[in-house]
Amino acid sequence: MKVDKLYPKICKQGSCLTRADYEFTDIQDGETITLAYACSEHVEDVRGLLETIYKPKIEVKSAAMTSKN
């Protein structure tokens, strides 16, 4: 039997240090990566923040693929 210590995921939105209820992930180079964690109170705030950060990158990538076709 193997026992591993669990490390709780923490919401770090602003000064919140509550245990996270949600995990935001994405696929990069075929691997799943974790972008952020959020508690129930901040899940929409974190979603909006991540969309602000990653949406321009997705649009640029999409435009580049469209111009190739």
Tens digits of per-residue pLDDT, 7-30? 899 999 999 999 999 999 998 899
The model's confidence at residue 48, banded by pLDDT at 50, 70 and 90, is very high
| 34, part of any domain | yes
Answer whether 0.75 is exceeded by the pTM.
no
Mean local confidence (pLDDT), 39-45: 96
* Residue 40 counted as domain residue: yes
Nearest Cα residue to 22 out of 43, 7, 5: 43
Report how many domains make up the chain. Answer: 1
Q: Is 15 inside any structural domain?
A: no
| pLDDT exceeds cutoff 90 at 37 | yes
Range of the domain at 41: 22-68
What is the total residue count of the chain? 69
Q: Does some domain include residue 32?
A: yes
